[in-house]
Structure 1
Amino acid sequence: MDAASAPPITSEELAAGVEKVLAAGAPFAVQPMTIRGVDYPAVFSLSQMSLREVLAMKTMENKDKPLIVYGDERYTTGEVWARAMRFANWLKGQGAGQGKRVAIAMRNYPEWCVAYLGIIASGATVVPLNAWWQADELRYGMEKSDAKIVVVDAKRADMILPCKEEFGLTFVAGREETAGQDFRMHDILADDSIPMDMPQDPIDPDSDYCLLFTSGSTGKPKGALLTHRGVVNAVLSWSFTLAVFGVVRPEIELSPENPGALVALPLFHVTGLHSIFLLGYLSGRKLVFTYRWDPEEAAALTEKEKLTHFLGVPTQAYDLIKAAKPGQLDTLVDIGTGGAKRPEAQVDLQREMYPEISASSGYGLTETNALGSHIALGDYKKYPSSTGRAVPPVTEVAAFSEDGKRLPDGETGEVCIKSPATMRGYHENEEATREAFHPDGWFRTGDVGNINAEGFITITDRLKDMIIRGGENVSCLEVENVLHEVEGVDEVAVFGVPHESLGEVVGAAIYGKDTVDLEKLQDHAKSRLAPFKVPTRIWRSPTMLPRGTTGKIDKKVIRTVTSENPPHFQRGDD
């Protein structure tokens, strides 16, 4: 049986599969637990260890397996771990450790992973900064995180350099020579005087493992504080789901021998970091890096390295199946997507072209360690508009009313997630943390949807003023604030414009002086914002922007009007 013809999994089948895997015990044993005052009926027992200890345990199992491939470079799990431990001990010698933060500001390189593992092993909190950010955004991230050591590549070093002295930063050049470098990763890893043993000082599993910035509707990125216990529960949940699929649909091979995956997403995002890198590390998958996304190269690498899994944003999945030549995807068992809803037509095309490859999709947020729901096999065919069921066994998903009451099946409300994987809060933002949770630990996603009797979640709208462009979250308010900086711009509304492959792109409607040059307006946005946040369609309004009864700008009306009229300026995304 191929993946496209697999029957849907009933609630009864799923429950029986979950029960069977749980009955087997380790590594998926669960127990009730109270975390930060919230009672959880099921938490993975293994999460009583820190992520460092879990990684060390899996390193012993997989030490001789290939882990990272980058061009002609190949590293086993053991080799990557040894390098990371040397870096961890170097960090401790520099004063880093528990209670400290260390940042990474670089594109995907093998050294990114060494730095990440080393920071975790030192006991410090890792701060992965968005490598697509511009100078002002990187400055904001460095200032908010209070990290004093940052691992950089050349481009990010140039952008952070102006605030290096002000913030008292130490630059570690991750791969190539960089401006302002104080140390080089290459020299640190070659220093035999630094031990390669894992640091032994204890790490509290409820302490912060990662500070990860996420775009928020307030305009400035918020820092989600993720704990060791949280991320261990997330990664174990995905492994658990594969085990359940193996029980419920044993005729479909989703866990082949010698697994491998393409690293097609940036590691500074929770999907690339947790769902690809960490899951790959802990499950013994070979991870093949690319310098930048190129669908033809991705297809060729899949064939050359005999890769079995692909996970990317919907645009990348679509690009891959269109670019692949006959035979290049023969080893793939699954093409998964995350970050945004995958258009149904794209899923149908994959089933038509590659019926033997499972189509899957996941839903989660930075604040939930990317854990939420998952859909695959016959379920995806039966419910193509759904994001799937809550990932068992430690996660619950429900819809809530505006006054915080849990709604019955089928009723539409705000989608909320309760899981031990959820963040402990937003960094230095108690008000936002309070607003993010209902009582009893339910995290408010800001998405609107419903859950049917079979447990399938369908997202229908967003409460937050956000755009999701190719899997990247864009805060409308942040872009509006930047456009308001241009002289002559009196009113701005930023909103999502439907796009065939990216899902949405950034659009803007402005009202102001006729002398405002729309091309220069976009250029200003380019100088201040990451490329994915820059408006590529701009409309000029002859009157003040429409408002609703509360006096707020009515973006629903603006979307309707702009959808019926071509933009006055358009550049990019085509």
Structure 2
Amino acid sequence: MIDEPLSLATATARLTAPGQVFELEDRVVGDVAMTVWKNAPSSLRDILEMTRRYGEREFLVYGDERVTFEAHYRRVATLTHRLHDLGVRVGDRVAISARNLPDWVCAYWGIVTMGAIAVPLNAWWTADELRYGLADSGARVLFVDEERLERVRALFDELVDVERVIVLRSSGLDEPVADEHDRVRVVALDDLIGTVELDAEPIDASLDPDDDATIFYTSGTTGRPKGAVATHRNIVTNLMNLFFISQRSSLRFGEGPPDATRYPNANLLNIPLFHATGCLAVMVVNAAAGGRLVMMHHFDAGQALALIERERITAIGGVPTVVMQILDHPDFQRFDTSSVRLVSYGGAPAPP
């Protein structure tokens, strides 16, 4: 710590000076002149490659299931080839409708790494809402969990664009699912991927920073949900912004990085991955930073406290009510929450 913190302007100038990681430059993006991060990765594919440095460090935790960064990379790399074999190409839309699962994360990275466009759909949507989202996005392939599969089966005759349905956390599904629906073929993700090679690398794809990467749907409070498109540059810029803010704060107040040897970075994911916050602000950032992502089947304050203690969670977030439910839980004092360094929330006003 220092007696007098640096001003925002001084800290910003130091970090963005020529030759620094956060150096800025002016570019024309589309028809718009803007200032961009000069040294930013060019695409999400580059972010995935960056995660290899974390090797056998744990990336995803779901119950007793644990996935390392290296295992995740190889599975994603293999998936890109399988999707290509199914005819998926750069710019094709591929939807995901499932609860938070490790394979949701694998599907997302597989889609964006090969240059297709990931379309996360609200897992709570009704069949009619799913029909709309799939038709509006023009998705050719749909990843679902078994709960959503039952909801989608009734729509097979109406899904004009969807050719393949890939089921997460299932195996041994028949293909095709039924003779009368042989246009929409169903396969389990594990069966599709098959054996993951130890030297697996993603399929070659030429990606531009301004290629579309994702379509997230709004809540549709005044009508049908609207698809909000984000490019690779949009998502990588968000990542760089967050890293810059963290570095600037440390520089201003003379703080070193947190002691990761005592409590390695671990984020409790209680926000749906189909929401931009859960996917882009938590999952993607966590992957790039080498943090562990502890996933919940559904939010429960008591379970959250148990996971905080067991997994030594360092960061939690969500809407204010989620944070308050944790703090107000009758057994709060029984759990060790000393590892938590960051509590973030948004989307609604918070009590004092």
Aligned to 2:47: 54
Are positions 1:331 and 2:325 aligned together? no
Match of 2:153 among 161, 175, 184: 161
Match of 2:169 among 175, 181, 206: 175
Which residue identity is paired with 2:336? Q
Aligned to 2:241: 237
Aligned ranges for residues 378-389 of structure 1 at < 5 Å? none
Cα distance in 2 for residues equivalent to 1:250 and 1:228: 33
Aligned to 1:14: 8
CA contact (8 A) 1:99 1:125 kept: yes
CA contact (8 A) 1:102 1:125 kept: yes
Shift of 1:17: 1.9
CA contact (8 A) 2:219 2:225 kept: yes
Rg larger for: 1
Which residue identity is paired with 2:38? S
The alignment partner of 1:206 has SS state of: coil
Are positions 1:314 and 2:330 aligned together? no
Unaligned runs of 5+ in 2: 178-184
**Bigger strand share:** 1
Shift of 1:318: 0.9
Are positions 1:45 and 2:53 aligned together? no
Which residue identity is paired with 1:209? A
Q: TM (normalized to structure 1)?
A: 0.55
Superposed structure 1 runs of 4+ greater than 6 Å apart: none
Shift of 1:218: 4.4
Are positions 1:247 and 2:251 aligned together? yes
Aligned ranges for residues 470-549 of structure 1 at < 5 Å? none
**CA 1:25/1:338 → structure 2, altered by over 3 Å: closer, same or farther?**
farther
Aligned ranges for residues 78-93 of structure 1 at < 5 Å? 78-93=70-85
Aligned ranges for residues 176-325 of structure 1 at < 5 Å? 176=170, 180=177, 182-191=186-195, 196-216=200-220, 218-251=222-255, 256-257=260-261, 258-323=264-329, 324-325=332-333
Q: Deviations over 1:30-86 (max 9, x none)?
A: 21111121111x311244611112321x22321222100111111111111110111
Q: TM (normalized to structure 2)?
A: 0.88
Are positions 1:117 and 2:109 aligned together? yes
Cα distance in 1 for residues equivalent to 2:64 and 2:20: 37
**CA 1:250/1:310 → structure 2, altered by over 3 Å: closer, same or farther?**
farther
Cα distance in 1 for residues equivalent to 2:153 and 2:243: 41
Shift of 1:335: 0.6
Shift of 1:170: 1.2
Aligned ranges for residues 304-453 of structure 1 at < 5 Å? 304-323=310-329, 324-344=332-352
Q: Deviations over 1:115-134 (max 9, x none)?
A: 00101112100000000111
The alignment partner of 1:80 has SS state of: helix
Corresponding pairs, count: 336
Unaligned runs of 5+ in 1: 345-574
Shift of 1:246: 1.0
The alignment partner of 1:243 has SS state of: helix
CA contact (8 A) 1:85 1:118 kept: yes
Q: Deviations over 1:493-539 (max 9, x none)?
A: xxxxxxxxxxxxxxxxxxxxxxxxxxxxxxxxxxxxxxxxxxxxxxx
Cα distance in 2 for residues equivalent to 1:159 and 1:26: 51
Coordinate RMSD, CA, aligned: 2.5
Cα distance in 2 for residues equivalent to 1:192 and 1:127: 25
**CA 1:83/1:243 → structure 2, altered by over 3 Å: closer, same or farther?**
same
Cα distance in 1 for residues equivalent to 2:303 and 2:74: 30
CA contact (8 A) 2:90 2:205 kept: no
